[in-house]
Structure 1
Amino acid sequence: MSAISQLEVFQSMNASPNARLERCAELGDGLSAAIWSNSHDARDYHAPSHHTLSCYLNDGTGTFRRGAPGTTGAPDKLCVMPAGAESAWIVNGDIRLAHLYIGQEQFSLGCIRLLDREPRELQLHERTFLDDPQQAARFRQLVKLDWQEPGERIRTSTLAHDLIDHLLLNQVGLREGLRLKGGLAPTMRKRVADYIEQRLDQPLSLGELAMQTALSEYHFARMFRESFGMPPHQYVLARRVALAQRLLRDTRQPLSQVALACGFSSASHFANRFRSVVGGTPGEYRQAFEE
């Protein structure tokens, strides 16, 4: 079973006799995209485990939230549905829309990288029929690309990351009344993050990272996950791949040198890990930005 088919919003749309899936793709990094058409329908989403950003491409003027018929959609309107949110929709007439599904771990990485806050401190705000021309333009670009062609698929993934960065910078705020328990102290969190960033070209063990906080490996791993929203090894891999993407875009270093600079023991190991995260090989990624 594919990862996208297990996403709750995707499942709800796919279960409708009126909705039609035009195309979909898993973009790597816990991101997936889909384009749907629908008409004369009612859809409920019950606390999905992922975030969903949607953009209306055509029609939608007969679409509204159940209980709020006075506010309807339209082309280029956006909706932000955070993980855990309940929503119910009525579709009168026709609609065509694009969905971007965002996994919790990708959201966590953005919170740390862009906002320098622990993911559990922050909440993605729910928004209905939002006007954001910049985001709508990105969606328009995204739907024009061929998601199955390697180069265009990588451009699709890059646009998806741009959509997420904009979303994090504009639609995220502190959780109200939150009392954090456990996790790393802010100074420890920064120390560990800086330590990792400065040594991405070197082997990093759990014990070595735990030593930066004077915690046991077991306790450190638990506290790290609380603060970063993912295990240490997954965070390190994400930062290595991010560095590799930057080097592939901005330098002409051979792939073997990029692999070593990002802490991968061989070019083949680098290619396998990079593809598992990004959805394309390092060579395909570089080529996509040369065209």
Structure 2
Amino acid sequence: MTPFTQLQVFNAMHASPNARLELSAQLGDGMAAARWSNRDDARDYLAPSHHTLSCYIADGTGTFRRQRPADKGAPNKLCIMPAGLESNWIVNGAIRLAHLYISETQFALGCVRLLDREPRELQLREATFLDDPQQSVRFRQLVGLNWAEPAERLLASSLAHEIVDHALLSQVGQRHGLRLKGGLAPSARRQLAEYLEAHLDQPITLGELALRCNLSEYHFARMFRTSFGVPPHQYLLARRLHRACRLLRLGALPLGEVALMCGFASASHFSNRFRQALGATPGQYRAAVSG
């Protein structure tokens, strides 16, 4: 999980003498959230390395981007600030808002999982003061939870996933003028993803995957990362944890059985990996989502 000290938008807000951090939490899977209040301020976000989705919770009618003074914010308005984007904001009066920070890795995994596309082909489209009732409802549910309480933080993580998935499906467009070099052919990428999904419960080696593509392990690893946006081991772990979350939500299988069905050598190994990624044990996750 990316520490808050590496989240440029979070740090720019935190550096303001007028902004007040009400609540923040790491939500796992490369996502973090913060709830802010601010008044009579100016903030500049200089090409952050992460994506930021924001929703105005209250006030904000005097907030605008410096280059677009005629467009003002309002409660339930959404903003999408892609990684690499510079934006400059003026806050006149008061505002309360929520930020959801998303790593490039999580964006890459979503592109492959939801859109069946290479992450480098796609970009998150910038939006200022967007109206999206579904997203604003999810944000309000998110900020209504107590992120300091482990079970509610896990529910917040599920909501964050829904928000990110919705943004990927509705706000992602193709990069223009991009000439793709290297990487796997689309058919090979698709077949590889399907193979991995069908064999998550089995040991999978880099050599085995490279052989399927008739490549050396070195070249396969490079081409996989180019096409999937993450190294093979990181993609495989993310897919195994995704399956584990689904199994934990769906039923009462023993944790040891869930571990084996998701390719983990033991329940303890599964628990350690799960806690590292989501900040809670599989048992705590199951109790939170079923309660």
TM-score by length of 2: 0.98
Cα distance in 1, alignment partners of residues 282 and 120 from structure 2? 32
Deviation at 1:177, TM superposition (A): 1.2
Query: 1:221 aligns to what?
Result: 221
Matched residue type, 1:200: L
Query: 2:197 aligns to what?
Result: 197
Query: 1:248 aligns to what?
Result: 248
Q: Secondary structure at the match of 1:35?
A: strand
Cα distance in 2, alignment partners of residues 57 and 72 from structure 1? 14
Query: 1:167 aligns to what?
Result: 167
Find out whether 1:78 has 2:61 as its counterpart: no
Q: What residue ranges of structure 2 are gaps of 5+ in the alignment?
A: none
Matched residue type, 2:65: R
Aligned residue pairs total: 291
Deviation at 1:275, TM superposition (A): 1.1
Find out whether 1:117 has 2:117 as its counterpart: yes
Deviation at 1:75, TM superposition (A): 0.4
Q: Deviations over 1:140-169 (max 9, x none)?
A: 000111112121111000000000011011
Give the alignment of 1:93-172 within 5 angstroms: 93-172=93-172
Cα distance in 2, alignment partners of residues 283 and 199 from structure 1? 24
Q: Deviations over 1:256-277 (max 9, x none)?
A: 0000111111111100101111
Query: 1:24 aligns to what?
Result: 24
Query: 1:288 aligns to what?
Result: 288
Cα distance in 1, alignment partners of residues 60 and 252 from structure 2? 46
Q: Deviations over 1:73-124 (max 9, x none)?
A: 0000000000000100000111110000000010011111110000000010
Cα distance in 2, alignment partners of residues 92 and 148 from structure 1? 31
Query: 1:207 aligns to what?
Result: 207
Which deviates the most, 189-198 or 240-249? 189-198
Find out whether 1:64 has 2:64 as its counterpart: yes
Give the percent of matched residue pairs that are identical in Structure 1 and Structure 2.
Answer: 68
**Contact preservation (8 Å) 1:145, 1:156:** yes
Deviation at 1:30, TM superposition (A): 0.4
Find out whether 1:48 has 2:35 as its counterpart: no
Query: 2:187 aligns to what?
Result: 187
Q: CA RMSD in A?
A: 1.1
**Contact preservation (8 Å) 1:191, 1:212:** no
Q: Deviations over 1:162-202 (max 9, x none)?
A: 00011011100111111100111111111211111111111
Q: Secondary structure at the match of 1:57?
A: strand
Query: 2:4 aligns to what?
Result: 4
Q: What residue ranges of structure 1 are gaps of 5+ in the alignment?
A: none
Matched residue type, 1:65: R
Cα distance in 2, alignment partners of residues 242 and 210 from structure 1? 24
Query: 1:265 aligns to what?
Result: 265
Q: Secondary structure at the match of 1:70?
A: coil
Q: Secondary structure at the match of 2:290?
A: coil
Cα distance in 1, alignment partners of residues 289 and 155 from structure 2? 8
Deviation at 1:71, TM superposition (A): 0.5
Matched residue type, 1:285: Y
Matched residue type, 1:289: V
Matched residue type, 2:74: A
Deviation at 1:67, TM superposition (A): 2.4
Cα distance in 1, alignment partners of residues 260 and 194 from structure 2? 19
Q: Deviations over 1:232-280 (max 9, x none)?
A: 0000000000110111111221000000111111111100101111221
Cα distance in 1, alignment partners of residues 177 and 73 from structure 2? 32
Matched residue type, 2:117: R
Deviation at 1:207, TM superposition (A): 0.5
Cα distance in 2, alignment partners of residues 4 and 209 from structure 1? 35
Matched residue type, 1:271: S
Q: Secondary structure at the match of 2:207?
A: helix
Cα distance in 1, alignment partners of residues 67 and 82 from structure 2? 19
Query: 1:274 aligns to what?
Result: 274
Cα distance in 2, alignment partners of residues 105 and 67 from structure 1? 30
Cα distance in 2, alignment partners of residues 160 and 129 from structure 1? 19
